[in-house]
Amino acid sequence: MQLVGFRKNKMSTSDSCKDSASKSNYDDGICEVNDMLNNMSTADIVPVCANCGKEGDDINNICNKCKQVKYCNAACKKKHRHKHKKECEEYLRRAAEQAAKLHNEKLFEQPPSLHGDCPICFLRIPTLHSGYEYYTCCGKTVCSGCVHAPVYNNQGNKVDIDKQNECPFCRTVAPKSNEAAMKRLRKRVEVNDRIAIYNHGNFYRDGANGFPQDYTKALELWHQAAELGYAGAYCNIGYAYEVGGEGVEVDKKKAEHYFELAAMGGDVDARHNLGNNEMKTGNIDRALRHYMIAVRSGQSNSLGMIKHFYSSGQVAKDDYTKALQSYQTYLSEIKSKQRAEAAA
């Protein structure tokens, strides 16, 4: 496909389309255009009307759909429309295919851990909510092992009970009332702490801790937290659109969009939900891919679904074996003596 609408005064030959990676991502026509754009400076481009061939800086009336061809005026654009229609549709089709391909590549990458590593022991923070705790004093998320580790006073072996009420990271004494705790939370919100903002939204959703129930405010805060980088907030937004009744109408398409954003950011529950949705529509291969990623991040329910697929003959034994190995790798990454003691 050849695109028209610009002319280059001087053109050098490019080798960037000769490598295999370029050939796999672009067809010859798009690749040629891409090379031309990469090798020419802005000064080299002379706009050309695709209909009458007129050149000049005032050729700035572009195709409304593909944005790839230019005209000197609306009359030329209208006259050329029937000639350009097939080319325009083909460009849009290929652009959509390329966009879908790139989206899938990003969607099915193994994402980072949602909460990263513990700031004290530097081990990966567990996926389960019982495996970590967020502190409003310093805004740190600490693993359960470090939260419950013994704290000793200067006498050596005797546990200092007062110090057990301190933040394990910054040693700030825990608030003694719910009012004081909410005051600290608001301070964290004021400094754009994404997890504090997310929790703030949860309190509005539930009408808890002295907050009025306000779904609209909850959604607003979740969006804010998500934009600051907390993928778990996207999962909550996805749930809202999935079930409705939380300030929005049911919208499965929007729910899937937000689940995908959450999953790409490391939220394992959102990833599991995407697998469930693919399973319901019969896309077992895509469901398996989502479940495998979730298992690697510690989602035991996804492991159960892969086991079900294997038992029903829908996936091979090797797939189930890989899932078990992935889950074992996750368990080894979060394992520590202190966390085992905390769990006990």
DSSP letters spanning 54-67:
-BSTT--EE-TTT-
pLDDT at 152: 44
The answer to whether residue 104 is domain-embedded is no
Do 272 and 344 lie in one domain? The reply is: yes
The answer to whether residue 320 is domain-embedded is yes
Do 78 and 145 lie in one domain? The reply is: no
Closest CA to 130 of 263, 298, 295, 302: 298
Q: Within the chain, how many helices (H) and strands (E) appear?
A: 14, 6
Do 78 and 124 lie in one domain? The reply is: no
Do 130 and 80 lie in one domain? The reply is: no
pLDDT at 44: 59
pLDDT at 213: 94
The answer to whether residue 77 is domain-embedded is yes
pLDDT at 33: 52
Do 77 and 121 lie in one domain? The reply is: no
Do 10 and 84 lie in one domain? The reply is: yes
Domain boundary among 158, 174, 190: 174
Phi/psi at 267 (5° precision):
-80, 115
Phi/psi at 88 (5° precision):
-65, -45
pLDDT at 246: 78
Q: Cα separation of 186 and 302, whole Å?
A: 36
pLDDT at 309: 97
Closest CA to 194 of 246, 136, 242: 136
User: Given CA atoms 300, 246, 103, 262 in this order, what sign does their dihedral have?
Assistant: negative
Q: Cα separation of 146 and 121, whole Å?
A: 7
Do 71 and 133 lie in one domain? The reply is: no
Which ranges in 252-299 belong to alpha helices (H)? 252-264, 268-280, 284-296
The answer to whether residue 197 is domain-embedded is no
Do 63 and 23 lie in one domain? The reply is: yes
Reading the block at residue 324, the tokens are: 């078990």
Do 22 and 62 lie in one domain? The reply is: yes
User: Given CA atoms 101, 270, 324, 343 in this order, what sign does their dihedral have?
Assistant: positive
Instruction: State the pTM of this model.
Output: 0.77
Do 337 and 295 lie in one domain? The reply is: yes
pLDDT at 188: 96
- Structural domain boundaries enclosing 72: 6-88
Q: Cα separation of 173 and 137, whole Å?
A: 9
The answer to whether residue 301 is domain-embedded is yes
129-166 pLDDT tens trace: 999 999 999 999 999 999 988 754 444 444 455 555 88
CB 28 within 8 A of CB 1: no
Closest CA to 131 of 146, 121, 149: 146
CATH of the domain at 288: 1.25.40
Which stretches of the chain score pLDDT less than 50?
1-26, 37, 40-43, 152-159
Do 16 and 61 lie in one domain? The reply is: yes
What separation in angstroms does the CA of 137 have from each of 20, 172, 178? 53, 7, 14
Element (H, E) at 310: helix 300-311
| CB-CB neighbours of 209 under 10 Å | 15
The answer to whether residue 54 is domain-embedded is yes
The answer to whether residue 23 is domain-embedded is yes
pLDDT at 35: 57
The answer to whether residue 48 is domain-embedded is yes
Q: What domain count does the chain have?
A: 3
CB 114 within 8 A of CB 127: yes
Exposure string of 51-72, with b = 16+ CB inside 10 Å and e = fewer, is beeeeeeebebbbeebebbbbb
Domain boundary among 135, 155, 174: 174
Burial class of residue 226, CB neighbours in 10 A (0-12, 13-18, 19+): buried
pLDDT at 16: 44
pLDDT at 156: 45
Q: Cα separation of 29 and 1, whole Å?
A: 5
Which ranges in 108-251 belong to alpha helices (H)? 144-147, 178-190, 194-206, 215-227, 231-243
